[in-house]
Chains A and B, each alone.
Chain A
Amino acid sequence: MSEQAPTRDHETKAGKKERRRVPFQPRQILMLALIWLVLVGEVNVVTVVGGLLLGWLIMLVFPLPPVDHSGRIHPWRLLVLVTHLVRDLAVSSVRLMIYAFSTRVPHPGIVRVPLHAKADLYEVNTAELASVVPGTIAVDVRRKPRLLYLHVFDLPDPATRQETIDDTWALERRVVAAFGSAKELADLDAAQVPSARPSGTDTPKGDA
């Protein structure tokens, strides 16, 4: 969605609303000003106004399409997501440390993982956090159909690829649970039923 927004805007409103190419995003300015305050470490009139001005300048110089987000943030589920994240980070770091100090050669593999969340935001977040889940890095991402290609650090037996898929699906569910609406979560649960699992032989069509 977010990728298409500027072009759609350009097509329909070209001519009469050419000047609104950079969308005004007060939330972005506010976030940037907040980060500025943390960096400076002082709260007074100069830093607050300066931060807001800087945020406004960044919005103009580096325009970003607005994120199409229909859900809301659930604090408790976000905490669950973050806790899982830190634990995953610890587990994967310890595993990698063992490999770094030993002489074992890992057997990597690239696994295709279909995703079910509708919005780009969730796919991006899942891909990001999948790079923290023990043993995987996102090598390639496809939007249509939503696919993630994960490089697994050690996958001696290709039959265990289902574990990677299950882990990523659980991660996707945590992401939607933390950021999505109740309807999106219900849709995801309906899409993630075990019977819909790919057998591994189906090859998705599309451009590469």
Chain B
Amino acid sequence: MIRFEHVNKTYPDGTVAVADFSLEVPSHQVAVLLGSSGCGKTTLMRMVNRMVEPTSGDVWIDDDRVSDLDPVKLRRRIGYVMQSGGLLPHRSTIDNVATVPLLGGSTRRAAHARARELLELVGLPESVARRYPSQLSGGQRQRVGVARALAADPNILLMDEPFGAVDPVVRNELQAWLLQIQDELAKTILFVTHDVDEAFLLGQEVLVLRTGAEVAQQGTPAEILLEPADDFVHHFIGGSRRHLHTEVRDGRRLVVDADGRVAGVATDPTGPA
């Protein structure tokens, strides 16, 4: 469980990154913070592992207030995946994955055995273990990033636009894969993205944020799609692109948006016209 209680982050120059934010992410759920860059979503995420200290308010993980915990130990019990993959460029794949268990005092042998298990879990072949991050593809690097975040078997995963730097094909593949391993692992995940489709695909709960991490709307993807709270949310999630109807063109029933652009094919032949 992750809980934010009225957190505020104001920088010394008066910039308000987070005005007043509260949220509870129940255990084993995926919550997505969705917003444009600069809305404070990454700041919120970094409060969980104390990379950013709130000016006021509290963050709790499970039954601990994070400000009561030693930051170094706290970070070792939270998995963290960054956009860049953030791997250590001078360590081989297997050493990168073994980082957190080693920092936590595991022996090298045990940490490497654990790292090999995880490489298998994230679907990477044995042959990448000895390679350095710069020798991997973008998609492989992100998988290694996830493997490393899982290595110490944390309850909580923080994912900061983890698939933002890879091409759309690989991104779709990684998203599907994440859903699949989440079925098995059931971690509590806080996921940050500016990609609406990604948010709706992955999140059980989605928060649309405006500047200052103000919650414009919070709900399931279906709730937000069906009842956008206001114009901001309506436009952010795609505006007229989300108003779909079907049309028959050249004998096929197509799904078309409000501007007449084709969005897909209707596979239900008896559906209403």
A, B assembled together: no
- List the interface of chain A (C-beta within 8 A of B): none
